[in-house]
Chains A and B, each alone.
Chain A
C-alpha cells in the first residue's frame, strides 16, 4: 500500500518524535521509494533552516536541540549550513559577484577597510531611517528611532535559545561566539503597557525593507521595580506564539523604559501582537508584569525581491 507522509510527520521523524510504528512505516517507505527519501532530506534541510532563522516553534526547537543536535555530525552539519548562509550573504552583499575564486568569508569581512565599514553602516542608517520615515510609523505616544547596532542580536536572546551549532563539535555545552557578520539593521520602537495606553491609537509599526531586528522598548510606570530575570513572549492576538526570549532590563536610559527585547524582523508578519513581559517576584515565582499591544503593518523582509 502506498502511504503518503505529510511534512509534519517527516519533520517529527528527523526530530525522533514518532512512535516506533510510525517510524518503521516511514523507514520502509524511504527504503522503497526515492521520492520519500527526497522529501525526508527536504524536511531535514527545512528544519535546519528554520532553526537557524529562529523560526521553530518551542517544542520543535527543544527537540531539535535535544535530539538532532545530540549527534556531533549533526552539529557540524548545522554549523556548516550556518557558515554557508553567512558566506553567501556576505558574498552577495559585498560584491554582488559570483564566487569564482577561493573565498575566505571571515577574511572577507576583516579585509574591508574601516572607511568602507563606516560607509556601509551609514548607508544602512540612511536606508532604514528613510524607509521608516516614508512608510510612516505614527503611533502616539510611542516613539520611533532607527539605528544600527554593532553587536548582534545574540546578547538579547536567552541562553537556552542560543543556537547550539555555534559550538564546536567538541563542546556541546558551551556557546562559541557567532561568526562576524555585517551589523544588523535594527528598528527600535517604544510601546506602552495596554492599561496605560487607554484610548490611544494602538501602537502600529511598519517594518522597512532591510530590517533585521525589531527592538521593542517596553515602557513601564513610574516607581517600577528593577527587573530581575525578565523575559517576554510575543503572540498574535489569535494566540500563536511567534517569539520568546530574554528581556533586557533598562536602567536610567529613559524614565519610562523598563526593558528591551530584540525580535528577528522576519518573525513579525503583518498582524496584531500581544507582548507579555514576565519577571520573577520576591518569592522567585514568575509573573506577568505588563502586557503590550503592537500592530505590524505590511513589511518586506531583507533579501525579498
Chain B
C-alpha cells in the first residue's frame, strides 16, 4: 500500500520531507548508510515500508564502482523516478519514488538476480504507478475543494491572494544566489532567452545543461514550497500557512 498523505499532514510533512530528504552526493558510502536511520525516521512508515541497509548498500554498489559515482547515480535514479511519476500525474512523485526505491532495495536484499537495476526500477515504478492509479479515491481536502468548485462559487480573490502571497514568501525564502539565478534565467523570451541563458552559463562557468539543471532544482524547490503553502492556505488560511512556512524554515535552519 502506498503512503498517501492525508489532509492533516500533507502540507507540513511534504515540506519537512523535502528538507530532510537524504542528500547523498559526495558522501562516503558509510556516511550514506549512516543517514539511513534519519531517512527512515523522517519517512512515514507503513507495515510494508522497510528500507534495508543491506539492500541499500547493494543498490549503491550496483549503481557505481565508487562511493561518489554511486551517490551521483542514486540521485539520478531518484530524480528519474520522480519525473516518471510526475509526468504520469502520480502525486506526490517524491513519495512514489521513495516507494519504488524501497521495494527495489528489498528485492536487492534477497538473492534475486537483477541484470539491469535501472530497468528493474522502471518495472517496479510501473507497478507502483498502477497501484496508485487503482487506489481508492481518497481525496485530500484540496482535491475535495476542487471538486466542490465545480458546483459552488468560492472566493477567487482569496485563492489568487494565496498564490501570490505564497509565491512572494517562497521566492523570498530562497537563498539570494538561487533567487538571482532563477530570476535571471527567466528574464527573456525566444531568441533573446537562448542568448541570455548562454550568457548566464558562461558567467557561471557551467554548461547550459548544467545551468538548466541548477535552475530546475531551484524551481522545483520553489514549486514545492508554493504548492505546500497554497494547500495549507486552503486548509488553515493564508496567514496560518505563512506562519507555518516560517516555522518550518526556522526548524530547518536549526
B partners with A: yes
Identify the A interface with B (CB < 8 A).
13-14, 27-28, 30-32, 34, 37-38, 40-42, 44-45, 49, 53, 70-74, 76-77, 79-81, 83-85, 87-89, 91-92, 98-107, 167-177, 179, 266, 301-305
A72, A76, A81, A266 — most chain B CB neighbours (10 Å): A76
A176 contacts across to B, CB distance below 8 A: 156, 159-160, 163
Q: Smallest distance from the beta carbon of A133 to chain B beta carbons, Å? A: 25
Q: Is the interface of A mostly helix, strand, loop or mixed?
A: helix
Judge whether A170 and B230 touch: CB under 8 Å: yes
Across the two chains, which residue of chain B brings its CB closest to A168? B159
Using A72-B91, A72-B146 as known contacts, say yes or no to A100 and B176 having CB atoms under 8 A apart: yes
B215 to chain A, nearest CB (A): 9
Closest to A30 in B: B80
Report whether over half of chain B's contact residues are helix, strand or loop; otherwise say mixed: helix
Size of B's binding interface in residues, CB under 8 A = 61
Kindly identify which residue among B80, B145, B213, B227 contacts A76, using a CB–CB cutoff of 8 Å.
Answer: B227
Give 1 or 0 for each of B101-127: 1 = CB within 8 Å of chain A CB: 000000000000000001101100000
B175 to chain A, nearest CB (A): 11
User: Which residue in B89, B172, B184 is a CB contact (below 8 Å) of A88?
Assistant: B184
Residues B146 and A84 in contact, CB atoms below 8 Å apart: no
Contact A88–B230 (Cβ < 8 Å): no
Report Cα–Cα, A28/B161, bound state, in Å.
42
Q: Measured between C-beta atoms, what is the minimum distance from A19 to chain B in Å?
A: 15
Q: How far is the CA of A301 from the CA of B162 in the complex (A)?
A: 33
Q: Which residues of B contact A (CB under 8 A)?
A: 76-77, 79-80, 83-84, 86-87, 89, 91-93, 118-119, 121-122, 142-143, 145-146, 149-150, 154, 156, 159-160, 162-164, 167-168, 171-172, 176, 179-180, 182-193, 195, 209, 212-213, 216, 219, 222-223, 226-227, 230-231, 234
Q: Which residues of A contact B183 (CB under 8 A)?
A: 84, 87-88, 91, 99, 103
CA distance A44 to B223 in the complex (A): 15
Distance of A38 Cα from B208 Cα, bound (Å)? 11
Q: What are the residues of chain A within 8 A of B79 when measuring CB–CB?
A: 37
**Is B176's CB under 8 angstroms from A87's CB?**
no
Contact: B168 with A106, CB < 8 Å? Answer: yes
Q: Tell me the minimal C-beta distance from B54 to chain A in angstroms.
A: 24
Assess whether B223 is in contact with A77, with CB atoms less than 8 Å apart.
Answer: yes
Considering the complex of A and B, which 6 residue pairs feature the smallest CB-CB distances, nearest first? A168-B159, A71-B89, A176-B160, A102-B172, A88-B187, A88-B186
In the bound assembly, the distance between CA atoms of A79 and B229 in angstroms comes to 14
Closest to A78 in B: B223
Q: Which residues of B contact A70 (CB under 8 A)?
A: 89
Chain A contacts for B76, CB-based, 8 A: 34, 37
26 pairs from A and B in contact (CB 8 Å cutoff) = A14-B87, A38-B212, A38-B213, A41-B83, A53-B189, A53-B190, A73-B93, A76-B230, A80-B167, A80-B219, A81-B219, A83-B163, A87-B183, A88-B184, A88-B187, A91-B183, A98-B184, A105-B168, A167-B159, A169-B146, A169-B163, A170-B145, A170-B230, A171-B149, A171-B156, A266-B189
Known A-B contacts: A31-B118, A171-B146. Give 9 more (CB < 8 A). A31-B80, A38-B212, A40-B83, A40-B87, A83-B167, A92-B187, A99-B184, A169-B163, A174-B154
Give A20 Cβ to nearest chain B Cβ, in Å: 11
In the bound assembly, the distance between CA atoms of A157 and B187 in angstroms comes to 24
The reply to whether B92 and A73 form a contact with Cβ atoms under 8 Å apart is: yes
Query: Which of B92, B119, B167, B172 is packed against the most chain A CB atoms within 10 Å?
Result: B167
